[in-house]
């Protein structure tokens, strides 16, 4: 997410899509695992949000793992985005 052409991005959003029903284990366990692995690769000053969405046919064809990375110094934006992600995220099934 870019504000303009002169500033670095406010956030980087990565999404991975998998055939519905193929993600292993409970959604919360997968979320914690992804947060841990991504966090280990970044400086501690970065903030991370992970949303796992499980779908089942015919409602949805894909399960989704979305990782949002916020660079240092964006505390207000991080709070705002995390609230939006929690409000907009569909309920996940274990």
Q: What is the pLDDT of residues 33-75, one digit of tens each?
A: 999 998 888 888 888 889 998 887 766 788 999 998 888 876 6
Task: In whole angstroms, give the CA distance from residue 94 to residue 80.
Answer: 26
In a domain? residue 36: yes
**Which pLDDT score, from 0 to 100, does residue 30 have?**
92
In a domain? residue 91: no
Range of the domain at 28: 12-84
In a domain? residue 3: no
In a domain? residue 4: no
Q: How confident is the model at residue 32 (pLDDT cuts 50, 70, 90)?
A: very high
Give the pair of three-digit tokens for residue 34.
Answer: 């992804």
Task: In whole angstroms, give the CA distance from residue 48 to residue 41.
Answer: 11
Q: What is the mean pLDDT of the chain?
A: 81
In a domain? residue 18: yes
In a domain? residue 41: yes
Q: Domain total for the chain?
A: 1
In a domain? residue 89: no
Residue 15: φ, ψ to 5°: -125, 135
Residue 29 has pLDDT above 90, yes or no: yes
Cβ atoms within 10 Å of 35's Cβ, excluding its own:
14
In a domain? residue 1: no
């Amino acid at each position: 997410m870019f504000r303009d052409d002169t500033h670095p991005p406010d956030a980087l959003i990565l999404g991975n899509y998998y055939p519905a029903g193929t993600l292993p284990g409970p959604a919360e366990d997968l979320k914690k695992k992804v947060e841990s692995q991504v966090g280990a690769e970044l400086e501690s000053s970065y903030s991370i949000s992970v949303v796992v969405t499980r779908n089942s046919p015919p409602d949805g064809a894909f399960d989704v793992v979305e990782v949002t990375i916020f660079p240092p110094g964006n505390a207000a934006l991080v709070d705002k985005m995390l609230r939006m992600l929690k409000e907009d995220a569909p309920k996940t099934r274990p």
